[in-house]
Structure 1
Amino acid sequence: MKKILFFLLLALFAQAASAQYSAVRINALAMATGTLNAGIDVTVSGKWSVDVSGYWNPISTDNLRMKVLGAVVGVRRWRFEPHVGLFWGLHSALAQYRVGNGRKRYNGWTVGIGSSIGYSWLLARRWNFSVEGGLALHYMDDTRWNPRSSPTEDIHLRHCRRLVLAPAKLEASFSYMF
């Protein structure tokens, strides 16, 4: 948490020295799954920006559980200028999760590092739309179990640690620049 605050303060101080825009964004794809999210992208030089995003999903029912709390911190390298056109990025992610359905549940945490590529379109003077996709290598540490075992069975807990190469960023976001 201290590192996230440090990066956020660093980005805000860098913004004070720059005449470029900062952007606050909402990921529409994450919102479609019920995940509350917000991010800030702050320009730190002519072609570089720092990106900080947070995600929280509180959904928990008997048959579906999607409790996720996560943060992503990264840098973006823009092709021409920040917040317009093609960009690529490097990011790191940290998340705690409790997900599953009626047959299998997972409770644990993950940390990962990856890269992404995207494109941003300027819709109006202060609004833009961007898409981004990427891959990351994640270390996952979780416990798996069957929530609906019969009364005569013991609950079988299985602790797993693994490395997973998986899609990490899938974003279609609207941004307001200031």
Structure 2
Amino acid sequence: MKHSYKFGLAMMLLTMMSNANAQDVALKTNLLGWATTSLNAGIEIGTAEKQTAQLFATLNPWEFSGGKRVRIWNVEPEYRWWTCLRFGGSFFGVHALAGEYNVKNVDLPFGILPKTKEGRHYEGWYIGAGVTYGYQWLLSRHWNLEASLGIGYAYSPYKLYGRCDRCLKKDHRNYVGPTKVALSLAYMF
């Protein structure tokens, strides 16, 4: 009984996919994410003539040379309204985001976290929401290219650790700015 909600979610997804016609489902990956060595994938499903729902996930488990580390996991559901027909042209969306991070010796863009001295690192989690604008180009019958930008808010409590993994500070961040940037390749079926 403990895992019945997972079974129900899986059955709902399978039912939606079994009723899907051509151009109703897209599997996607964010090429910009791969440029930062982040593993990522998403699925987008048509829900109405001009509407889709997307679920995207990102994971970066690596540690880099020089003691640099940007370990993250992120999930991002999004609902989209297309100006013409779904999976082509302009769209507007609303998205949510949630995840965890462990960042060391890397200054993140847009002032996401305060800069630190070498050897210190941040650990924390975040939750937020935003709005999106994007455009999708039809490359062929099964392939699309999509560009999108999201702006929003995220709340993030974090801990700052020193060289000996001693917690130096507990605080939080109220972030307002870009919450998603994507150049995605999509396979339509």
- TM-score class, shorter: 0.7 to 0.9
Q: Which amino acid aligns with 1:41?
A: E
Distance 2:54 2:11 in 1: 12
Q: Which residue of 2 aligns with 1:85?
A: 89
Q: Which amino acid aligns with 2:84?
A: F
Distance 2:83 2:73 in 1: 32
1:146 shift after superposition: 3.4
**What is the percent sequence identity of the aligned residues?**
28
1:12 shift after superposition: 4.4
Q: Which residue of 2 aligns with 1:135?
A: 151
C-alpha contact 2:152 2:176 (8 A) present in aligned 1: yes
1:157 alignment partner, SS class: strand
Between stretches 101-110 and 167-176, larger displacement belongs to 101-110
Q: Which residue of 1 aligns with 2:110?
A: none
The correspondence for 1:46, drawn from 45, 49, 53, is 49
C-alpha contact 1:67 1:98 (8 A) present in aligned 2: yes
Distance 1:135 1:41 in 2: 20
Q: Which amino acid aligns with 2:26?
A: A
Q: Which residue of 2 aligns with 1:171?
A: 182
1:79 shift after superposition: 0.8
Distance 2:184 2:124 in 1: 28
2:67 alignment partner, SS class: coil
Quickly say closer, same or farther: Cα 1:175–1:50, change in 2 above 3 A.
Answer: same
Distance 1:33 1:118 in 2: 21
Gaps of 5+ in 2: 106-117
Gaps of 5+ in 1: 150-154
Write the deviation string for residues 40-91 of structure 1: whole angstroms up to 9, x where unpaired.
Answer: 0100100110000010001214521111011001101111111100001101
Quickly say closer, same or farther: Cα 1:46–1:11, change in 2 above 3 A.
Answer: farther
After TM superposition, list the pairs within 5 Å mapping 1:69-108 onto structure 2: 69-101=73-105, 102-108=118-124
Distance 2:7 2:156 in 1: 24
- After superposition, the CA RMSD in angstroms is 2.3
2:146 alignment partner, SS class: strand
Q: Which amino acid aligns with 2:15?
A: F
Q: Which residue of 1 aligns with 2:126?
A: 110
1:104 shift after superposition: 3.5
C-alpha contact 1:68 1:98 (8 A) present in aligned 2: yes
Distance 2:11 2:93 in 1: 20
Quickly say closer, same or farther: Cα 1:43–1:12, change in 2 above 3 A.
Answer: farther
Q: Would you say how many aligned residue pairs link Structure 1 and Structure 2?
A: 172
- Structure-2-length-normalised TM-score: 0.82
After TM superposition, list the pairs within 5 Å mapping 1:154-169 onto structure 2: 155=166, 157-169=168-180
1:14 alignment partner, SS class: helix
C-alpha contact 2:100 2:124 (8 A) present in aligned 1: yes
Write the deviation string for residues 140-159 of structure 1: whole angstroms up to 9, x where unpaired.
Answer: 0110133389xxxxx56111
